[in-house]
Amino acid sequence: MIGQRLPGGVWRRDRITGGWRYWVTEYRGYSEPGAFRINITAAIRSMTWYPPSGVGMPMSPRLGLQEICRQRELKMVAGLGVSSTPLEYPEDPHIPAYLDQSHDPIWATYSLIAIKQLIHRGWLTSYFLDRGVEIGGVALDFVREARPERLSVMCALNRHEECTGLAWTRRWLLVPQRTPCVCVCGCRSPRRGGGERPGDAAEEVEDLKPNDEVGAITHEEPPNEE
């Protein structure tokens, strides 16, 4: 983004902790009047999160979110969210009349649903209003988060059980290289490893661990027999 120019499809942005919230034009009608934007912001704050598989999530938001993931080919999904309490909004055809002429609209109950994705330097969370017959984009959160260079994608996604104990890194190197994942969840343990030679990777990391003693070891340590 250059200066004050907003990306296409965005009509407003607000500062949030660690990043920005972009309000998208698709369902601008719902985010433009301050009243509904406050409702949506509240729904974002009180969102209930589920794993990317949608296990434990009510069927209606789960099917909608999985369809969005499939259609848009969303990758690196960390979680699926749904607002804990459905919100009341004017029915879509009534919203201009409601906003312009203060007509009392027909009210409908819509859920706010969300998809959280891992991106290069942080997280992207996309929020949608689920109107039952249609799902439309409302807002996007970009939040920066520094993460260790050698953290595997699966561990970064909090899907520790799926980590093979190895991470891909391409720092300084044109060809990505596999290095032991730095996560402390135990993914490098040979019992857990599903990747190539996880035992070797674990040993490598052990070798790199700093000794408890300060400075380099300059003497031969006696073998510990006990």
Question: Considering the complex, what minimum distance in angstroms separates the CB of residue 197 from Zn ion?
Answer: 15
Binder to Zn ion among 181, 193, 201, 202 (CB under 5 A)? Answer: 181
Contact yes or no for 84/46 (Cβ under 8 A):
yes
- Structural tokens at position 121: 């330097």
**Contacting range for Zn ion; rule: CB under 5 A; set: 5-13, 100-108, 180-188, 201-209:** 180-188
Question: Considering the complex, what minimum distance in angstroms separates the CB of residue 181 from Zn ion?
Answer: 3
Q: Cβ closer to Zn ion: 135 or 183? A: 183
Residue-by-residue DSSP string for 1-19: --TTPPPTTEEEEEEETTE
Contact yes or no for 139/23 (Cβ under 8 A):
yes
Q: Cβ closer to Zn ion: 62 or 188? A: 188
- Per-residue contact track with Zn ion, 183 to 212, x per CB under 5 A? x-x-x-------------------------
Binder to Zn ion among 10, 124, 135, 163 (CB under 5 A)? Answer: 163
Question: Considering the complex, what minimum distance in angstroms separates the CB of residue 147 from Zn ion?
Answer: 12
Which has the closest alpha carbon to 65: 123, 116, 121?
116
Q: Cβ closer to Zn ion: 60 or 189? A: 189
Q: Cβ closer to Zn ion: 12 or 197? A: 197
Q: Is 160 in the site for Zn ion (CB under 5 A)?
A: yes
Which has the closest alpha carbon to 205: 184, 186, 180?
180
Which has the closest alpha carbon to 169: 160, 182, 157, 188?
182
Measured CA distances, 12 to 9, 138, 160 (Å): 10, 11, 36
Contact yes or no for 167/181 (Cβ under 8 A):
yes
Looking at residues 135 to 154 of the shown chain, list those that interact with Zn ion (rule: CB under 5 A): 152
Q: Cβ closer to Zn ion: 140 or 154? A: 154
- Structural tokens at position 10: 């965005």
Q: Cβ closer to Zn ion: 13 or 150? A: 150
Which residue ranges make up the site for Zn ion (CB under 5 A)? 152, 155, 160, 163, 181, 183, 185, 187
